[in-house]
Amino acid sequence: MPKVGNYRANSVIYFQGDVVADKVFVLQQGKVSLNYTDIETSKEIREIIQTGEFFGVKSALGKYPREENAVVLADAQVLVFSVTEFEVFAQAQTRIIMKMLKVFSNQLRRVHKQVDNLLERNEAQSPEAGLFKAGEYYLKARQYSQAKYIFSRYLTYYPAGRLAEQASHYLESAESGAIKYGDGKGPSPLMVEAGRQISSREAQAAHDNQAPKVPGNGLSDAAKNFYDAVSLFSSEKYKEALAGFKRIVEENGDPEYVTKALYEMGRSLFMLQQYDLAIKQFTQMIQSYPKHPDLVDSLYYLGQSYEKKHDAERAKGFYKKILSMEADEDAPIRTKATKSLRRLEEAARG
């Protein structure tokens, strides 16, 4: 028999990316939203579940990670089916099977259309290339702390990207330059790299500490403001960095840097030991951007914030959530979550 689950407003029934997706839900009362990002427009989609509707069906039956965040908007009561229970129930309800087939068919057609449209887009418009160019600019200008940050973010956002190997090499160069010379000093790593061909125009731009004027790939004002704030964060000027990230969000200019700034605001609040505000910031970010590239890292900061507030049970919940989402045993975030969870469990036993 299915079980009854009660969830408070602003809680999350399951997260996008949850590996363990073995439950099907039906809303009995309250309000639940399925939040995900449209693959074509990158816009946030919020699908409100109606009373009596099922959700979580595809991932549970297909045995693949959750595709959306199930966010509780108002106190909700749901029936929770195991896959076996749902299959038995559905076999006796032909009407439910036909309704699900119709929904899945419409979704499949929509996805096919979106994929076709995406394939037609100009690759030069990709934010991946823009982020890599920004890292190159700071490396040429010998601003190693910014270059380190940008290339590390590139590898986080695009671990299998077409420029990932070069980004990894540049990250090592930035780290080495920071240790040997410090920001603004020493030779530009890109200008001394063996076999690297740099035009006189690019070399002059690096020497003059100006962004290369490559058509379509220049840094926007939002990007420049973002990396200025990153520099402040790297210098442990967290209050000033927070103000910089907040301005980017308030100006609401470049969507790419607005979403990144939201995450960095949470990090800055955490470093300022404002744990309640950090929790609020990361929670709102996850609800608004369920496919944010820093989702898992945000969950870790939430766990850390609750741990700092001496709320071990909530902290453990976030660490366990990370372990359910991150399948790579060697992933650094999984290692950190495992250590934190083990520490809390040992403290509880001791």
Break the chain into its structural domains and give their ranges. Answer: 3-119, 127-219
Q: Going residue by residue through the chain, which has 350 residues, state the pLDDT in tens, using 9 for 90 and above.
A: 789 999 998 889 998 888 778 899 989 999 999 988 765 556 678 889 888 888 888 888 878 788 889 999 999 999 999 988 888 877 766 666 656 655 555 555 555 555 555 444 444 446 677 778 878 877 877 778 778 878 887 887 777 778 888 888 888 888 888 777 776 666 666 554 533 433 444 444 444 444 433 333 446 778 778 878 877 786 778 999 999 999 999 998 888 888 889 999 999 999 999 999 999 999 999 988 888 888 888 999 999 999 999 999 999 999 999 988 866 666 778 888 999 999 998 888 87
Q: What is the pLDDT of residue 101?
A: 57
CA-based end-to-end distance of the chain: 38
Strands 12-14 and 54-55 come out as: unpaired
Q: What is the pTM of this model?
A: 0.47
Element containing residue 290 per DSSP (H, E): none
Q: What is the pLDDT of residue 38?
A: 64
Who contacts 45 (Cβ-Cβ below 8 Å, separation ≥6)?
A: 35, 36, 37, 38
| 102 close to 44: Cβ distance less than 8 angstroms | no
Q: What is the pLDDT of residue 285?
A: 92
CATH of region 3-119, choose from 3.30.710.10, 1.10.3720.10, 2.60.120.10, 1.20.1630.10: 2.60.120.10
Q: What is the pLDDT of residues 300-319, one digit of tens each?
A: 999 999 999 999 999 999 99
Who contacts 25 (Cβ-Cβ below 8 Å, separation ≥6)?
A: 5, 13, 54, 55, 56, 70, 78, 79, 80, 81
| 309 close to 332: Cβ distance less than 8 angstroms | no
Q: What is the pLDDT of residue 309?
A: 94
Half-sphere exposure of 56 (CA within 13 A, CB side): 29
